[in-house]
Amino acid sequence: MRPELGLIAGIATTVIFFTVGKEWLADLESAPRVALLFAWLFGVMIWCAFGVVRHADALAELLGEPYGTLILTLAVISMEVAILATVMLGGDPNPTLPRETMFAILMIVLNGMVGTVLAIGGLRHVEQEYNLQGAMAYLAVITPLAIIALVIPTFTQATTGPTFTTRQAVIFGVLTALLYAAFLTIQTTRHRSFFVQPKKNAKNIDIELAQPASAEPHGHGKVYSAPYHAVLLLATLLPVVLLSKPLAKLIDFGTEQMGLPIALGGVLIAMLILSPEWTSACQAAARNQLQRAVNLSLGSALSTIGLTVPVVLAIGVFTGTPLELGLNNVEIALLAVTLFVCQMTFSGAPTNILLGFVHLVLFFAYLVLVFTQ
């Protein structure tokens, strides 16, 4: 029962906010009340998010590849997609929220998460090995998808503002989904060896195919049956989805009343989604399992583009919701530098603490720009 306290708290919070909590959200004049409600919602949702990843990790250990990778990926990013879809379909849509959330996730993952992982790994183990083919496969797909989704809309001239036309949205949404599906197929079947930790002290990269990547110890407690974890995964995910709309209302009110940047909403949602994966990646780096940390970090970055873009574009087309996906010039420059540094970091040489510091500097530069546009 103790491991499922997060689920119990999530269910109780959901019931409260869909009953008496409606009156609280209708009267947000008191700043202390808003802060208290936000802390309550955000804390419970993070608690549930850790529970979702714990059950997904357990299923990955039970089922192995290719199902382990698919479950881990879909479990984490489904929270982002569900939150964005709920907010977009809930009336009074924010046309920039998908852009802010996706850009925040890319910056947090490619700079914050990768930087922390490399710094911890370098501090504990000096240098760490990873599978070059896997890292380059991630970056080869992340780069064009990020440019198509977040940069091209800024320069298209068929519409006013950084948006796609309906035809462009349909085509780019389908292409993104197809490329991501192709990547998952390759990752879980044809080239599974690209994403497994290479053996130490091997002259040639010798991949341990006898043990799937998901079978590494995850440190998430006792593992039960697959149906048990599948049911509890869905049950733990439900409060995150249902509570996303009240949380979005509190974020919008808080940023407006306090004069905070609009992009802060995307950062908060990204932190909510990524906190469990960030923790798992850091633990893997500390255990000298850098390839697992690479799979978690770069996989999260790829999934947020590969899954979120088709969903939000489809919602925008069918509901007529305007979506401003294009970044401004400063954000484009930061994205370009981030992708370039990632290519150098994962160029084949062992990683070290200096590379981690480089990524962390870019991460803090992003945070500065969030508050001082």
Query: How high is the pLDDT of residue 220?
Result: 54
Query: How high is the pLDDT of residue 142?
Result: 96
209 pLDDT band, cuts 50/70/90, is very low
Asked if residue 82 has pLDDT above 90, the reply is: no
**Average pLDDT of span 178-198:** 84
Q: Which of 133-137, 213-217, 278-282, 369-373 has the highest mean pLDDT?
A: 133-137
Q: Where are the alpha helices (DSSP H) in 93-151?
A: 97-107, 114-125, 132-150
Which is higher by pLDDT, 342 or 84? 342
172 pLDDT band, cuts 50/70/90, is very high
Judged by average pLDDT, the poorest of 90-104, 212-226, 261-275, 341-355 is: 212-226
- The closest of 227, 195, 179, 230 to 74, measured between CA atoms, is 230
Query: How high is the pLDDT of residue 1?
Result: 63
Q: Which amino acid is it at 147?
A: I
| 373/354 Cα distance (integer angstroms) | 28
363 pLDDT band, cuts 50/70/90, is very high
Q: pLDDT digits over 217-250, tens only?
A: 454 567 888 888 888 888 888 888 788 778 878 8
205 pLDDT band, cuts 50/70/90, is very low
**CATH code that applies to domain 2-371:** 1.20.1420.30
Contacts of 356 (CB under 8 A, 6+ apart): 114, 115, 116, 117, 118, 119, 120, 121, 122
Q: Which of 39-53, 82-96, 111-125, 221-235 has the highest mean pLDDT?
A: 111-125
Asked if 343 and 139 count as a contact pair (C-beta separation under 8 A), the reply is yes
Percent of the chain with pLDDT over 70: 90
Tokens encoding 174: 């389908």
Which is higher by pLDDT, 305 or 69? 305
Asked if 69 and 213 count as a contact pair (C-beta separation under 8 A), the reply is yes
In angstroms, the Cα distances linking 372 to 154, 263, 369 are 21, 11, 5
Instruction: Give this prediction's pTM.
Output: 0.82
- Mean pLDDT for all residues in the chain: 83
Percent of the chain with pLDDT over 90: 33
Domain-wise residue ranges, the chain = 2-371
Asked if residue 210 has pLDDT above 50, the reply is: no
Query: How high is the pLDDT of residue 68?
Result: 59
Which is higher by pLDDT, 189 or 353? 353
